[in-house]
Chain A
């Protein structure tokens, strides 16, 4: 399968805690993106990390990329109830094809 895997599939934490989710992929990449989807809504782009970058920050988000292991992680610090959503890291399949999405990680943050 060319699909990547987000891990874990589901994550439940308390407000204020940190949330870490991981993503593995199988093909070479130019960049890797993370998206968030709130229930019943469209997806929203969170952050993009290029293949020559190892870490990137945006507000409470920290993304790491390990191209040797074909994996990435997304850390959300000091989580809030509003962070409750599904998180995806789509990746490129074959050259010239559109991004492929896995099932995502469903994060629940309770207050």
Chain B
């Protein structure tokens, strides 16, 4: 596709439900990142993939958060037993280079999660 695609754009979950957020990066992009953005804040790093390898998951806030990119393309961020504090916009970004921090990031529009 022309850009990074994220789905769903909006998700409302009851506390305790599991959710899965999908990211379809730009074709051929090596690196994929997930960020969490609370209202009025900047994006906070969650995890980073280089192809199918998850090289850094230091930003995942708890073991309820899990991300995968099994074929080095589409990625899924899964949140188990959602809590109200998980309410945020989840942003996915991809980069052509394998570098974690020197390439230009292309962001999707985000998935807004609201946990009731």
- Is A100 within 8 A of B104, CB to CB? no
- Is A31 within 8 A of B105, CB to CB? no
- Is A98 within 8 A of B101, CB to CB? yes
Q: Mark B14-54, 1 if CB is under 8 A from A, else 0.
A: 00000000000000000001010000111111001000000
- Is B102 within 8 A of A42, CB to CB? no
User: Which of A12-20, A71-79, A101-109 sits within the interface?
Assistant: A101-109
A100→B36 CA distance, assembly (Å): 12
Number of A interface residues at 8 Å Cβ cutoff, please give it.
22
A98→B31 CA distance, assembly (Å): 10
In-complex Cβ contact of B4 among A42, A93, A98, A103 (8 A): A42
- Is A42 within 8 A of B100, CB to CB? no
A-B contact count (CB 8 A): 63
Q: Mark A13-53, 1 if CB is under 8 A from B, else 0.
A: 00000000000000000110101000001111100100000
Closest to A104 in B: B42
- Is B107 within 8 A of A101, CB to CB? no
A37→B54 CA distance, assembly (Å): 27
Instruction: Give me 15 other A-B pairs in contact (C-beta within 8 A), A42-B4, A43-B43 excluded.
Output: A30-B102, A43-B93, A44-B107, A45-B105, A48-B104, A96-B55, A96-B100, A96-B101, A97-B45, A97-B100, A97-B101, A98-B59, A99-B100, A101-B45, A103-B40
Interface residues of A (CB under 8 A from B): 30-31, 33, 35, 41-45, 48, 88, 92-93, 96-104
- 20 A/B residue pairs, CB under 8 Å, sorted by A: A30-B101, A31-B102, A33-B104, A42-B93, A44-B107, A45-B104, A88-B43, A92-B100, A92-B102, A97-B48, A97-B56, A97-B100, A98-B48, A98-B100, A98-B101, A99-B105, A100-B45, A101-B42, A101-B43, A102-B42
**Cβ-closest 9 pairs across A and B:** A42-B107, A101-B42, A92-B101, A43-B107, A101-B43, A42-B109, A98-B48, A45-B104, A98-B45
